[in-house]
Amino acid sequence: MNILVTGANGQLGRQMQRLGAVSPNNYLFTDVDRLDITDAAAVRECIARNRIDTIVNCAAYTNVERAEEEAAADRLNRAAVENLARAAAEADALLVHVSTDYVFDGSSPVPYTEEAPTAPVSAYGRTKLAGEEAVRASGCRHLILRTAWLYSETGNNFLRTMLRLTAERESLNVVFDQVGTPTYAGDLALAIFSILEGGLDRGNEGTYHFTDEGVCSWYDFAVEIARAVGHDRCRIAPCRTSEYPTRARRPAFSVLDKSKLKRTFGIEIPHWRESMFYCLKRLQSMQGQASEKP
Ligand SMILES: NC(=O)c1ccc[n+]([C@@H]2O[C@H](COP(=O)([O-])OP(=O)(O)OC[C@H]3O[C@@H](n4cnc5c(N)ncnc54)[C@H](OP(=O)(O)O)[C@@H]3O)[C@@H](O)[C@H]2O)c1
């Protein structure tokens, strides 16, 4: 298989690179400098020239706050996804597209299944939903994987922000009334990798939910991060979303039901706390290696 990965320098893309390095398949990793997915002609040309069978789209506009004001969010999360989907349909390639829990409004009292009604409350959520719709409308073979609260050793994410803030400050307020599931990008990459390397049956294409196991609030996540690295001096207090005004609204409850993915692909998913420890350990060893360099 020839597998094109777009946005390969982002959190998920970098984890795909770690796994692609040990695959017998041929992975082509690109980011905006090599393949700008807003350029429809470049996308078509890249897929044809490299005889691509599968595209994994890790590129996205992920800044939820800035998305409220910037047209770039729509260009990347909808229009560019439409480019990929149309090119995939023309080439009969499979498109693996990643979407978000923020397509839901957060009013459900139970975890969201793939069939639950969508109703995004932010521009980011609306552009991501429009991207999903473009994929389905194109008629291309596809897998849409909705995920949530992604973090990794690299990039801008909550885990890295909390590591910094709990080291710098004596106290911190973190919202306790937004509940979801922190998800290590390495776990999502491994799920995508297992599905692709296992050979995806056409009958199993469609929309799925993937996060790590378990549920918590951002407050709980922050407390666990600080505790794990011994940042005990910083006092973390729970606060309400209303006390911490942001431009973008976020769902209060965005837990995703992963039963369909586990049943269909037989994937075992770690608990978020276990993956958090793993990521922190990797971060520590990466920092150790960096400080050893002359
Ligand atoms: N992060 C989360 O908490 C979260 C939650 C739920 C779902 N998701 C979804 O999960 C997926 C992966 O997210 P992530 O956190 O790994 O994203 P990310 O770290 O923001 O990475 C996105 C990558 O896409 C690149 N990119 C930007 N414009 C591009 C273009 N025109 N053409 C090609 N590449 C371009 C970015 O490059 P630059 O950095 O140079 O712009 C970056 O390397 C996305 O679909 C996202 O919506 C994320």
Note the pLDDT tens digit of each residue in 145-181. Answer: 999 999 999 999 999 999 999 999 999 999 999 999 9
User: In this predicted model, which residue has the larger pLDDT, 244 or 256?
Assistant: 256
Residue 293 has pLDDT above 80, yes or no: no
Please tell me the distance between residue 106's alpha carbon and the centre of ligand 1 in angstroms: 23
Residue 162 lies inside a defined structural domain of this protein: no
Residue 141 lies inside a defined structural domain of this protein: yes
Residue 39 lies inside a defined structural domain of this protein: yes
| pLDDT (average), residues 65-71 | 96
Alpha helices in 21-104 (DSSP H): 40-49, 72-74, 80-91
The whole domain housing 40 covers: 2-156+181-213+255-271
Residue 103 lies inside a defined structural domain of this protein: yes
Query: Which percentage of the chain shows pLDDT scores above 90?
Result: 96
Please tell me the distance between residue 63's alpha carbon and the centre of ligand 1 in angstroms: 9
Which CATH number do you get for residue 15?
3.40.50.720
Q: In testing the pocket of ligand 1, which one of 62, 161, 250 has its CB within 8 Å of the most ligand atoms?
A: 62
Residue 284 lies inside a defined structural domain of this protein: no
Q: Would you report the helix, strand and coil content of the chain in percent, each value rounded to 5?
A: 45, 20, 35
Name the average pLDDT for the chain.
Answer: 97
pLDDT for the residue numbered 294: 54
Residue 199 has pLDDT above 90, yes or no: no
**CA of residue 234 relative to chain centroid, distance:** 29
Residue 7 lies inside a defined structural domain of this protein: yes
With b meaning 16 or more CB within 10 Å and e meaning fewer, what string describes 60-80?
bbbebeebeeeeebbebbbbb
Query: Taking the complete model, does pTM exceed 0.75, yes or no?
Result: yes
Could you say which of 27, 61, 112, 124 is catalytic? 124
Ligand 1: which residues within 6 Å by Cβ?
Answer: 6-7, 9-13, 31-32, 36-38, 58-60, 62, 76, 80, 98, 100, 128, 147-150, 155, 185
Residue 227 has pLDDT above 70, yes or no: yes
| pLDDT (average), residues 111-140 | 98
Question: What's the pLDDT band for 290 if we cut at 50, 70, 90?
Answer: confident
Residue 75 lies inside a defined structural domain of this protein: yes
Question: What's the pLDDT band for 268 if we cut at 50, 70, 90?
Answer: very high
- Give the largest CA-CA distance in the chain: 57
pLDDT for the residue numbered 288: 84
124 belongs to the catalytic site: yes
Domain count, the chain: 1
CA distance 155 to 186: 13
pLDDT for the residue numbered 139: 98
Please tell me the distance between residue 61's alpha carbon and the centre of ligand 1 in angstroms: 6
